Structure 1
Amino acid sequence: MRFFNTEGPNRADDHYSLPPLSRWDLDAILTLIEQKKYFLLHAPRQTGKTTCLLALMDYLNREGRYRAVYANLEGAQAYRENVDAAMAVIVTDIAASARVWLGDTDAPVLAREVLATTPHGSALSLFLAHWCQRIPQPMVLLLDEVDALVGDTLISLLRQLRAGYPQRPDAFPQALILCGVRDLRDYRIHASSEQAPITGGSAFNIKAKSLRLGDFDAEEVATLLHEHTAETGQAFTPEALARVWELTQGQPWLVNALAYEACFEQPEGRDRAQPIGVDLIDRAKETLILNRVTHLDQLTHKLREPRVRRIIEPMLGGTALGEAFEEDREYLVDLGLLRRDGAGGLVIANPIYREVLPRALASGPQDSLPQISPTWLNPDGSLNPDRLLDAFLAFWRQHGEPLLASAPYHEIAPHLVLMAFLHRVINGGGRLERAYAIGRGRMDLCLRDGAVTLGLALKVWRDGRPDPLTEGLTQLDAYLAGLGLDRGWLVIFDRRARQPPIEARTSSHETLSPAGRCIQVVRA
């Protein structure tokens, strides 16, 4: 029985699959190959790049006009900038791939001969030249994980490919695809130990085009999920199909992971007589986030990088990006962490990522929280919003100051500590939803626990700015209207210099919003 794939390339006999070549403009790819072009394919991790490359290799070899070989260069990454060792691995791996995919037993012999007699800094170009002269058809070479290489090793690879370029197709590959996560824009190459570029595009100025493999669209998501229905008879409700699309925005790994968790891991989902509903999809989403599955863990690991922080921190705080470099912005788009919305602005790529990022950042404060008695509960165990407010004020006065230091992003430390507190409150029994974006001037939170829904707007009062109360009440009105609520909290964090200690300035009072809603204003 087939299943949803979350590890490695798809195999049609094992995995529910979309036709890989349908995700490309195949005619455009074939035209580039016929025109003897060298080009790039890039997309975020686990979006199907390798699956598409393998499918293209199979297609070309079946057609018979070209001899196509796929090779993964990741094995050379361990040698970093040891060019001789790395190039030996690259030559050996390409030759081994020829044996595996084409049954070419001459390629490994040729590789050993070249490596034994040629300086490794030119071994790749010489190996490819000799090999292409020995085979009857023009070669198409598909090199994966190229951006795993760094510094001098990457420079050596690119310059050898450029050096052999004029010899194509008789004594060098007719066409070449370099594949990786990033569109390196003619490969601005960085040494492993420093951030400054050590070369610009001159190492590979023969690039004809850069192609990006996109996410699934809504129709493709539904088609993939219907593969499971066709095989097992278990349907997804229309609402569940819509929810998968809403949560993932078509990110291929997330689509497969949500569906696998719902259909193969959740006990209710394993009952093929029961349809997959929205509640099951939501439980699957929570499980993926709480288990910190590898894909999401790798994503949150990026939050430590300064160039990621320069973008994500103001996004979470709702402020403008300021002087964030274009390279930083494009880096996050290439990673798949951000996308451009219809108006061209930057937003988090999908609701799951939007949930994961602040959760990950709040995990430090959450782990630092002291034991807190759940005084916010009614005798029946339900959440009491008034008691919750009293508990938060007491918590903030006593623990706010030291906990701010545990937050990894200083500018939004109060937001992260508050979120950590609220996660302790719901403790797996409710949900905390977040809304934030560049230039909104706030972060909105929605706490759902049983019959209680609480809407909050978080704002910061900084030096040189007016009191954000009036603006915040208007903004909270709009947020609460969308939630269908007539009450909420406006939390104003006073981050101005020379203010009294937190325990002295923390207070709350009730007021009416412009639309007449009852608002608890918390000054912290």
Structure 2
Amino acid sequence: MLRYIEGVSARLLVVVMPKWFNTAGPCKPDIHYMLSATERLPEIKQLIAQENYFVIHAPRQVGKTTAMITLAQELTASGQYTAVMLSLEVGAVFSHDPELAGRAILDEWQDAIKFYLPPELHPSHNILGESGRHIGAFLAAWSQESPRPLVVFLDEIDALSDETLVSVLRQIRSGFPRRPKGFPQSVTLVGMRDVRDYKYASGGSDRLNTSSPFNIKVRSFTLSNFTLEDVRNLYQQHTDATGQIFTPEAVDLAFHLTQGQPWLVNAIAKEIVEYIATDPATPVTVDLVNQAKEILIRRQDTHLDSLAERLREDRVRAVIQPILAGQELPNVPQDDIRYVLDLGLCTNQDGLTIANPIYQEVIPRVLAYVTTASIGYVQPIWLSEQGEFLPNRLLEAFLLFWRQHGEPLFGSTPYPEIAPHLVLMAFLHRVINGGGTLEREYAIGSGKMDICLRYGKVTLGMELKVWRDRRSNPLKEGLSQLDKYLSGLSLDTGWLVIFDRRKGLPPLSDRTTTENVISPAGREIIVIRG
């Protein structure tokens, strides 16, 4: 990008490097749109000045590494500290050999220090650490010879596990009393989880369940998502650089869909400005944001894919399954709830819920993936010859599919309590592959899942209920709840699907029926029982 600057006696040609929305690795100020690290972490400088050791934990790709690199550079540039972010990740392959892990980590640190710090702040080349305590000895020796107090951010701490993890934590704890002249003034552990959730295979547990190896921490806190104002500021940087505007409604929708999750905020904007609407003269509208959202959900990039891997963990299933089913949360350990919060899968701001609308779409889609793949070819009789969507024909196709394949497919789902939900959604995924979209709403204690299918000009709202043993018929409650959902969609008709999970019933193929009823609000409802 070229800009001319008029001077008194010369006309200067200035090359302005373009910037981009970043979705891979730490942000670089010269090429990426980004927000201030210190504004996102206003307490850190005071904690460092007080010679504190602390923990920062947050889900992947919310900007932890970017924030720590930027903050370390600011602290060093101030002339008050020698500050650097160092990674522990290379020690992960030596989980049971602290000696080899320590050597690998120090070797990596030497390269990072040379890259991030000026030569006058480098440690001596002969600082190698002592056998068995490489990390602690290195930090002690460097602190003693550094012309400024040493501040160290240790990234990827939870990549370590077992003996190596405990060894590193104890070496840091051992040196803590000698700070700031004999050990770093401040050490920050940076990772996805808090100390008690670090991996340690011992006594039948797969995590520490205690912060004792690092009980010197003054506090643990998390890097929060972007606020609505943050999203506006980030997108405004692109407008200032290119002239391409984001309408206020588009910004609001992007924030709603992502709830400020930094990777998602950047990914939506990147998809739009680099692939969908590359002409800066094209304003970014609500329609473009929705289009980008659907692309991200279907594509399941690395961020969404890695998040989905967690769904099969027992402690995650224990929390996510009742949320999807709309059931009350059972008596699960408090650590399991904290774990899904730390992973960024859920939020607890207004009760425990899935973290954002995009995750709400991705999670059921991932859980139904194998089932969707198991479904053979389904004739799309729900489309007319002109490609119009026909809800009555969709009902016919679904009933045929449900009677023939519903029960056998229950075993293909990873969450048995909501197997019928996932099989139905697997079928609907096949339907929308032709050009429609699915939206889902669910929450703990609601006793339901709502689904909105949009295809062309047609919008179909449906509610899923479960009839379990020792529970009353959910028909009356379901009709009332469906009325509220359809009212929000401005629809006069809809489906109420009741999954009968009571014991001793005939086969699904024999008990699947439909019935037309009128809801309390006068809407025409098709009740499907199966």
The code of the aligned residue for 1:179 comes to V
Q: How many residues align?
A: 512
* Aligned match for 1:449, one of 437, 455, 469: 455
Asked if residue 413 in structure 1 is aligned to residue 419 in structure 2, the reply is: yes
Look up the match of 2:45. Answer: 30
Which deviates more from structure 2 when the two are superposed, residues 98-107 or residues 459-468? 98-107
Q: Identity rate of aligned residues, in percent? A: 50
| Partner Cα separation in structure 2 for residue 495 and residue 108 of structure 1 | 69
Look up the match of 1:436. Answer: 442
The code of the aligned residue for 1:281 comes to V
Look up the match of 2:98. Answer: 83
The code of the aligned residue for 2:271 comes to E
Look up the match of 1:332. Answer: 340
1:193: how far off? 10
1:99: how far off? 2.1
* Aligned match for 1:165, one of 170, 176, 186: 176
| Partner Cα separation in structure 2 for residue 232 and residue 7 of structure 1 | 22
1:192: how far off? 8.4
| Partner Cα separation in structure 2 for residue 253 and residue 244 of structure 1 | 12
| Partner Cα separation in structure 2 for residue 234 and residue 127 of structure 1 | 50
| Partner Cα separation in structure 2 for residue 240 and residue 210 of structure 1 | 35
1:294: how far off? 0.2
Decide whether the 8 Å contact of 2:84 with 2:117 is kept in 1. yes
The code of the aligned residue for 1:242 comes to D
Decide whether the 8 Å contact of 2:95 with 2:101 is kept in 1. yes
Look up the match of 1:234. Answer: 244
1:520: how far off? 0.4
| Partner Cα separation in structure 2 for residue 509 and residue 95 of structure 1 | 72
SS in 2 for 1:243: helix
1:111: how far off? 3.5
Look up the match of 2:219. Answer: 209
| Partner Cα separation in structure 1 for residue 449 and residue 473 of structure 2 | 17
Asked if residue 9 in structure 1 is aligned to residue 20 in structure 2, the reply is: no
SS in 2 for 1:405: helix
1:505: how far off? 0.2
| Partner Cα separation in structure 2 for residue 22 and residue 30 of structure 1 | 11
1:466: how far off? 1.2
Q: CA RMSD in A?
A: 1.6
| Partner Cα separation in structure 2 for residue 163 and residue 48 of structure 1 | 30
1:424: how far off? 1.2
| Partner Cα separation in structure 1 for residue 294 and residue 529 of structure 2 | 32
Look up the match of 1:352. Answer: 358
Asked if residue 302 in structure 1 is aligned to residue 305 in structure 2, the reply is: no
Structure 1 consecutive aligned stretches of length 4 or more whose deviation exceeds 6 Å: none
| Partner Cα separation in structure 2 for residue 19 and residue 139 of structure 1 | 23
Asked if residue 71 in structure 1 is aligned to residue 71 in structure 2, the reply is: no
For each residue in 1:177-209, what CA deviation from the matched residue of structure 2 results, as whole angstroms up to 9, or x when unmatched? Answer: 111111235x66522895354573221110011
Decide whether the 8 Å contact of 1:96 with 1:107 is kept in 2. no
Decide whether the 8 Å contact of 1:99 with 1:108 is kept in 2. no
For 1:82-161, list aligned pairs within 5 A.
82-104=97-119, 107=123, 109-112=125-128, 114=129, 118-119=130-131, 121-161=132-172
Look up the match of 1:507. Answer: 513
| Partner Cα separation in structure 2 for residue 265 and residue 202 of structure 1 | 49
For 1:179-258, list aligned pairs within 5 A.
179-185=190-196, 189-191=199-201, 195-197=205-207, 200-258=210-268
Decide whether the 8 Å contact of 1:96 with 1:108 is kept in 2. no
1:335: how far off? 0.8
* Aligned match for 1:483, one of 489, 492, 497: 489
Decide whether the 8 Å contact of 2:381 with 2:397 is kept in 1. yes
When residues 198 and 254 of structure 1 are mapped into structure 2, their CA distance, relative to the original with a 3 A threshold, is closer
For 1:33-48, list aligned pairs within 5 A.
33-48=48-63
For each residue in 1:458-491, what CA deviation from the matched residue of structure 2 results, as whole angstroms up to 9, or x when unmatched? Answer: 0111111111111111111111111111111100
When residues 88 and 475 of structure 1 are mapped into structure 2, their CA distance, relative to the original with a 3 A threshold, is same
SS in 1 for 2:358: helix
TM-score normalised by structure 1 residue count: 0.95
1:512: how far off? 0.8
SS in 2 for 1:496: coil
Look up the match of 1:282. Answer: 290
For each residue in 1:287-317, what CA deviation from the matched residue of structure 2 results, as whole angstroms up to 9, or x when unmatched? Answer: 1121120000001111111111111111111
The code of the aligned residue for 1:239 comes to E
1:327: how far off? 0.5
| Partner Cα separation in structure 2 for residue 234 and residue 199 of structure 1 | 50
| Partner Cα separation in structure 1 for residue 302 and residue 412 of structure 2 | 24
SS in 1 for 2:232: helix
For each residue in 1:86-133, what CA deviation from the matched residue of structure 2 results, as whole angstroms up to 9, or x when unmatched? Answer: 111222223332222224486362343x3xxx32x2222122212211
| Partner Cα separation in structure 2 for residue 194 and residue 149 of structure 1 | 18
Gaps of 5+ in 2: 1-17
1:378: how far off? 2.5
